[in-house]
A and B are shown apart, each in its own frame.
Chain A
Amino acid sequence: MRAYQDMVFTTAARLTGRDAQAEDIAQEVFIRAYEHFEQLRTSASAGGWLKTVARNLSLNYLTRDRRRWRSFSELPGADEEQAPEPQIPVPDTHLSDIALEERRLLIEEALSRLPERQRLSLVLYHFEELPYGEIAAQLRVPLATVKSDIHRARQALLKQLQARGICADALEV
């Protein structure tokens, strides 16, 4: 469990965008793993199993959450596209000047500030490495929506990070 707890928690935290929920989900993942202990103990793909369960539980949680709040979220003005951009002060720093931990926090924060659907699509694509089609199926949205969400999320993310002095060019491989 110790070997996988960070991975499971990270998966849930990035998908849900909430640490408290991620902790609950991680707990449930390990309880399920305990129930399947005999199969997982000898399996070489235990890590993949845990990651998949964490992803599915996170998506289930978000679906339930969205359904619960749908009536409020769909009020006029609550549209994700119309959400005002967060006002971020621009520090006079560059990548080389920002401590690694601070940079990580800034990126995680920028990620969590994205509208939910954009963040989900982006995380599923870049971290979970799911193809567009599978993301569309998981989120039950059209393929074109997934592509445009991911594109917008990338732009919004870079914009936020550039405003905080993180230069993505420096990381490009």
Chain B
Amino acid sequence: MSSAGEPDSRLERQVHALLRSLPARRAPEELMARVLAQLEQRAALPWWRRQVRQWPMAARLSFALLAVACLVLLSLAGRAAVPHLAHPTASMLAWGHHIQAVLNVVPRLLTALLGVLPMAWLQAFLLIGVLAYLFLFGVGAAAYRLLYQER
């Protein structure tokens, strides 16, 4: 299998023979019971809680029709709200304006806060934030090394 030199080939043969001599691992006794229980649990679910591809055909068709109807209604509502823009994307543009207005408030709010709070407070908040981040990162890394990686 390998095209490397003779020692590599010998190593490969040795390891291959060693590994292929291993019998299959025995699956846990409870595996089958777990699978059957899971299947029963899934079968007991009402259709609307299953995956969409497992829904009855009528339900899937109704859902698709409802989705199309919603899109049409949204489009019509957009046109009604912004009549001078007789375009299907009018509703999306209207939403965009609202979002932009909200986003414009955020920097103004931050600027106002920066003006009110003393600089020492801000520096302290920043320092505490950085220290908390480093502490949590360190705890997480230590926990991973000790508890998880060793398993």
Contacts and interface: CB of A to CB of B under 8 A. Distances in A.
Nearest to B25: A10
Interface string B115-142: 0000000000000000000000100110
Interface residues of B, number: 37
B145 A72 contact: yes
A120 interface: no
Contacts, number: 102
B31 A107 contact: no
A34 B18 contact: no
Contact of B14 (A1, A14, A172): A172
A6 B20 contact: no
Q: Is the interface of B mostly helix, strand, loop or mixed?
A: helix
A104 interface: yes
Contact of A171 (B14, B23, B31): B14
Interface stretch (B34-42, B55-63, B72-80, B105-113): B34-42
A161 B14 CA distance: 12
Given A107-B19, A168-B15, A168-B17, A23 B145 contact: no
B18 A168 contact: yes
Given A27-B35, A75-B141, A107 B18 contact: yes
Interface of B: 1, 4, 8, 10-28, 31-32, 34-35, 38-39, 42, 137, 140-141, 144-145, 148-149, 151
